[in-house]
Structures are given as C-alpha cells and as structure tokens.
C-alpha cells in the first residue's frame, strides 16, 4: 500500500476503507477485520454511519497493534454548536470506539459553528489526542473564508469525486493550499451504470483490469487519496491491485470526457 505525507508530516495510505452504509454491527466488524487482513490500514467512519462501536471493536481485535491502523471519524453538523459541544462529541467518539486516541478527526459538513468547533479540534490536536485534523465537503469558497483565521490549518478535505463529478478546478484550488484531497464515493454509488461504461470498460480491457480498478487508478494518478467500500473480501483485494499499472495520457483524457 502506497502512502503520502500530509502537510503536518503525518503519513497515510493513499487507499482507505470506508464503512458508510454498513450499520449492522456484526457485518461492519467483520468487514473491517477483513479489510485489515487484506491490507487496508486506514479505516474511515463517522457517528452518522451508526457503526463507530463496531469499527472500534474491529480495530482492537484485528490482530495488529493500534499504531498500525489509522482511524478516521468525524464531527457531525449537529455536534458543531459550540467549542464545548465539539469537545464532548470527540470524547464520546473515543468512548464509543473504545480507543485512547484518534488518528484523523474531520468536520463532516461545513455547517453550524465551524469556528468554535475548530478551536476544539485545534485543542485536541495540541493535546496529542488526535494526529491530524481536517474537513469534509468544503467547497473552495467556503474553505477560503474558513482558512482566514485559524491557528492550525486542515490537512485534509474529504469530498465527493468520481468520473461523472470530476471537480478539476476545485481539486486544483484545494491542493494549491497544501490540503490533501480525499475522495469519497469514487464509484458514484453505482449510478449512471458506471461499471458498464464503455470508455472505462475499454480502458480496463487494455490493462486486464476492472472498471473499479481503472477508476481508482485514475484518482490516484491525480494525487488524490481514495476511500472505497465493499463487504466482499475479493473486491477488497481487487481494489488494492491498482499500483501495478499506469493509465496513459489518452486514457486520462478519455476519462476526463465523462
């Protein structure tokens, strides 16, 4: 698994495993353990996914030391009413997951008191209870305003990116601020019949790769980190087999047309 270095010096895998849409505790715990066994080292959850407890249990029981797994969770919009409310939410996530510290803590949405809540994230970062802090779903105009008055800048902006929603201008703007883009929903949640798209299938046949692998490779070649979700162990393995080929310029241009 390849890694990148965030602006604060923390190294994270370019591919992570997301658990959105797996609320069943046993299924989620089993899926996370399988993900770790197949090679994933970054697990992404949120209180709104209703599976923090299952993720925490899986991380504690996966057979690896805590330091070998990077865990991300988030501060929900409903928890961003104030500095104190954000601090309580962070403590509650740690308690729910049964962890002593968090690796990455993100705003889930740019809503509510983002300034007071960010002061809380800055504080827990200074205390060493989290290794990196960032945001999700911040459009450049919202991020530009947010960045004006912060002691510690976000190191990640987790946003929706896929072949039908490429956001090239947004991504360039975010990267120019030394903020790492991390893509969620890389397969567009299966919409637009993405797995049968003729352009993606043709490219996949050339490299003997699946459409999913082509999409992941396309994102990685843009310097974007990616979160993918599947409960299939076989697809977990498949989704990681994207470092042994490279799309050429024509491939990138053809995907760009989507």
Contacts of residue 181, Cβ cutoff 8 Å, sequence gap at least 6: 156, 157, 158, 159, 161, 171, 174, 175, 223, 224, 225
211-248 burial: b if 16+ Cβ within 10 Å, else e: bbbbbbbbbbebebbbbbbbbeeeebebbbebeeeebe
The continuous run of DSSP H or E covering 205 comes out as helix 198-207
Residue 258 DSSP SS3: coil
Q: Any catalytic annotation for residue 141?
A: no
The Cα 134–Cα 140 span in angstroms is 14
The Cα 12–Cα 230 span in angstroms is 20
The Cα 63–Cα 33 span in angstroms is 9
Choosing from 17, 49, 83, 125, the catalytic residue is 49
Tell me the sheet residues that pair with 8.
none
Backbone φ and ψ of 160, nearest 5°: -75, 125
User: What are the distances in angstroms from CA 71 to CA 22, 168, 230?
Assistant: 16, 28, 17
CA-based max dimension of the chain: 54
What is the set of active-site residues?
Answer: 49
């Amino acid at each position: 698994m390849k890694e990148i270095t965030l602006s604060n010096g923390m190294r994270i895998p370019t591919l992570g495993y997301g658990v959105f849409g797996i609320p069943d505790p046993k299924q989620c715990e089993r899926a996370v353990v399988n993900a770790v066994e197949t090679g994933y080292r970054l697990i992404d959850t949120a209180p709104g996914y209703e599976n923090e407890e299952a993720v925490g249990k899986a991380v504690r029981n996966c057979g690896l030391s805590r330091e070998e797994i990077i865990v991300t969770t988030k501060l929900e919009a409903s928890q961003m009413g104030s500095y104190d409310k954000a601090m309580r939410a962070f403590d509650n996530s740690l308690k729910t997951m049964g962890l002593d510290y968090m690796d990455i803590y993100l705003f889930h949405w740019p809503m509510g008191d983002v300034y007071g809540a960010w002061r809380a994230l800055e504080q827990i970062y200074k205390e060493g209870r989290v290794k990196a802090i960032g945001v999700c779903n911040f459009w450049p105009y919202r991020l530009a305003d947010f960045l004006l008055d912060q002691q510690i800048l976000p190191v990640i902006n987790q946003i929706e990116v896929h072949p039908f929603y490429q956001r090239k201008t947004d991504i360039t703007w975010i990267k120019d601020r030394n903020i790492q883009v991390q893509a969620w929903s890389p397969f567009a949640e299966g919409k637009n019949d993405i797995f049968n798209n003729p352009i993606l299938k043709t490219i996949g046949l050339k490299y003997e790769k699946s459409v999913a692998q082509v999409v992941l490779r396309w994102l990685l070649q843009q310097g974007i980190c990616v979160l993918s979700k599947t409960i299939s162990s076989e697809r977990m393995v498949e989704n990681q087999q994207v470092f042994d080929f490279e799309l050429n310029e024509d491939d990138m241009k053809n995907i760009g047309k989507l």
